């Protein structure tokens, strides 16, 4: 692969998602005590969110290899697939008693937060290298 920067950025976002999930687990454990269903929920939500983001990165990379019409189709299909997978994930979290529902769902929000954090950090690093 020529350009893996998409995957490098996705790895950074997933690292932030993992750190936020650890914080979430600590907060849940403090307020609800340590419970295995909370741990399973956090791991399930974190794993799904990271996989979802890597699928988005893959779709973006594939769409860049196609023309404008192909890129639009690729991203529309990716969006629909990710939305369907998220719905399945939420339903599974609601139905399986071994998974704490809220502990599994909250990491979905971490994707947006992590993207902003990595974006701010990247722009800060660029400004720092320009001033050197």
Q: Is residue 79 part of a domain?
A: yes
Question: Measuring CA to CA, how many Å separate 80 from each of 32, 48, 53, 70, 115?
Answer: 35, 16, 14, 15, 20
Instruction: Work out how many domains the chain is built from and give that number.
Output: 1
Q: Is residue 131 part of a domain?
A: no
Which tens digit of pLDDT belongs to each residue from 50-73? Answer: 999 999 999 988 888 888 888 888
pLDDT at 9: 86
pLDDT at 7: 84
pLDDT at 39: 95
- Show the domain range for 64: 5-124
pTM of the model: 0.84
Q: What six digits make up the tokens of 58?
A: 């893959």
Q: pLDDT > 70: what percent of the chain?
A: 93
78, 38 Cβ separation under 8 angstroms: no
Q: Is residue 130 part of a domain?
A: no
DSSP string, 48-65: HHHHHHHHHHHHHHHHHT
Q: Is residue 39 part of a domain?
A: yes
């Amino acid at each position: 692969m020529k350009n893996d920067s998409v995957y490098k950025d996705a790895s950074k976002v997933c690292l932030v998602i993992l750190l936020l999930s650890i914080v979430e687990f600590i907060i849940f454990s403090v307020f609800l005590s340590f419970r295995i269903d909370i741990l399973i929920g956090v791991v399930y939500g974190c794993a799904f969110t990271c996989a979802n983001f890597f699928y988005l990165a893959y779709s973006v990379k594939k769409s860049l290899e196609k023309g404008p019409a192909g890129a639009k189709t690729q991203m529309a299909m990716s969006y629909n697939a990710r939305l369907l997978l998220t719905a399945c994930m939420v339903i599974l979290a609601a139905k399986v008693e071994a998974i704490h529902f809220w502990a599994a769902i909250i990491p979905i929000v971490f994707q947006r937060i992590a993207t902003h954090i990595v974006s701010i950090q990247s722009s800060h690093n660029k400004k720092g290298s320009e001033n050197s």
